[in-house]
A and B are shown apart, each in its own frame.
Chain A
């Protein structure tokens, strides 16, 4: 399995590079509409073909990666911070306080994640307090993903903290009179870095799939800006005449998910 892990890492690095260096990689910008080349099938100039407005699909996929990956990474970090603080407090406090806090998480987790996310996206899509349309739709999707994402993190972090705080080295630190924040930062925090890394490889692909899901349903960004899910959603509408418009964005999502999947497996095995 070592080989698949290396391949996964290589693919993700490639994605990262194309996302960062997007302007230098694409032939034309994602917004440029070429009236002479509408719905062209993939060829040597247009690697992924063009869409009904003559925009280069390869360019749109590369730029879409910026948004899809950016949102996924950002919301995962946000979920880690939120869930980490919440779960850390619950686990460190313990007792009744912990019980009440975790009951709240239980209740939230009982709601199907997608139903919750749909509600939140719709809510933020309609309040519109950011002027820029693109940033606003990015913001609402970010809010939706973070609201669902922190729950699992909180649960895992709390479990870890509960376990570690009873370990001899923490008990003895408490015994010699270390302050709570010192125990938390010096003794407990370093021990939850490992599990958190595993969560990271599981949450990023989950957020990519949720984001593409919402965007596919039409709750995401609006053209010309687009994530992979938006592209797939657009492609589905013109599927009969030009299947390449759904197949390429779909495949990119699939390969990315696979890469994270194998990378996560690799992490778990070396633990």
Chain B
């Protein structure tokens, strides 16, 4: 891992972020209708004043360069909707709930998915294999907006075990995490199953058997260890799956997180908020991918970087 490689990846990240800032700016500023059009009972003059306050009356090019300059210093300006709040403040408030449910979902997916995957390898070539495949595929295909409502209907409205909304106390995590984590869980299980089945057929497992190693030892030392490596490479898509999942889950369970803020911001045309969020999500995903690549290079000796 040379400094040159890290520099190359870092500059790629910067270019990507610059591109996203530009793209979001073009999309949102090109919209007809400003953020104050929907407000009732203000005169044209007051509207002008408000627009001048947020520098919306200046030429596009100047607005753009101002924005670029500020964004580089992580200053995303004021939110139009949330009174007297910086965009970064709005995001900081909403970040925590989203981070909590995302991380808990991701960890549960790994924690349950890896043993499940290995168990499904155990079922491979038995008549239960079809059932295992069916369940894994269901987990991947079930839309979050079907899982969430069914969980709410059964566990909070019928059985009254969990609250149907908001994040208050550990028990309230159960339903959102189940909704958010199901797809990542199924993806992890499918990947472990696929790579473990592949590894079972490989020469070194056959050699280990021939050497007379016990089945448990083969299972944990050879199969499990080697099937963990591909897990790293899908972390990017797991991250993306969780990010988009939070939009729905936060809406369903009324969690005041980033996903909710984004959907609101889009509807209310809260320009700076939406741009900041788009940059944030992109950065998150790029960094996640970068991190996983670096770890993968460390773990897998076969990868050669150019």
Contact = CB atoms under 8 A, between A and B. Distances in A.
Given A111-B278, A247-B146, A254-B142, A122 B244 contact: no
Interface in A196-250: 205, 209, 212-213, 216-219, 229, 232-233, 235-236, 239-240, 243, 246-247, 250
B247 A114 contact: yes
B28 interface: yes
A236 B143 CA distance: 13
Interface string B240-254: 100110011001100
Interface of B: 12, 15-16, 19-20, 23-24, 27-28, 30-33, 130, 133-134, 137-138, 140-143, 145-146, 149-150, 152-153, 157, 240, 243-244, 247-248, 251-252, 262-263, 266-267, 274, 277-278, 281-282, 285-286, 289
5 closest A-B pairs by beta carbon, nearest first, are: A250-B146, A257-B141, A114-B244, A110-B16, A123-B27
A213 B31 contact: no
- Chain A, interface residues (CB within 8 Å), range: 35 or more
A85 interface: no
Contacts of A229: 145
A120 B282 contact: no
Contact of A261 (B12, B27, B137): B137
Interface in A4-54: 4
The binding surface of chain A is classed by DSSP as: helix
A122 B31 contact: yes
B290 to A, nearest CB: 10
Contacts of B138: 254, 258
A73 interface: no
A247 B243 CA distance: 24
Contacts of B247: 114, 213, 217
A120 B27 contact: yes
A4 B130 contact: yes
A118 B12 CA distance: 24
B5 to A, nearest CB: 16
A243 B240 contact: no
A258 B146 CA distance: 14
Given A110-B285, A258-B138, A261-B141, A246 B27 contact: no
23 contacts: A4-B134, A110-B20, A110-B286, A112-B285, A119-B24, A122-B31, A122-B266, A123-B28, A123-B31, A126-B31, A205-B141, A232-B145, A232-B146, A239-B153, A243-B153, A247-B149, A247-B150, A250-B149, A253-B146, A254-B138, A254-B143, A254-B146, A262-B137
Contacts of A250: 143, 145-146, 149-150
B30 A123 contact: yes
Given A111-B16, A122-B266, 8 more contacts: A111-B278, A112-B285, A118-B266, A209-B143, A212-B143, A247-B146, A258-B138, A261-B137
A212 to B, nearest CB: 6
Contacts of B252: 236
Interface string A95-128: 0000000000011001111110011101100110
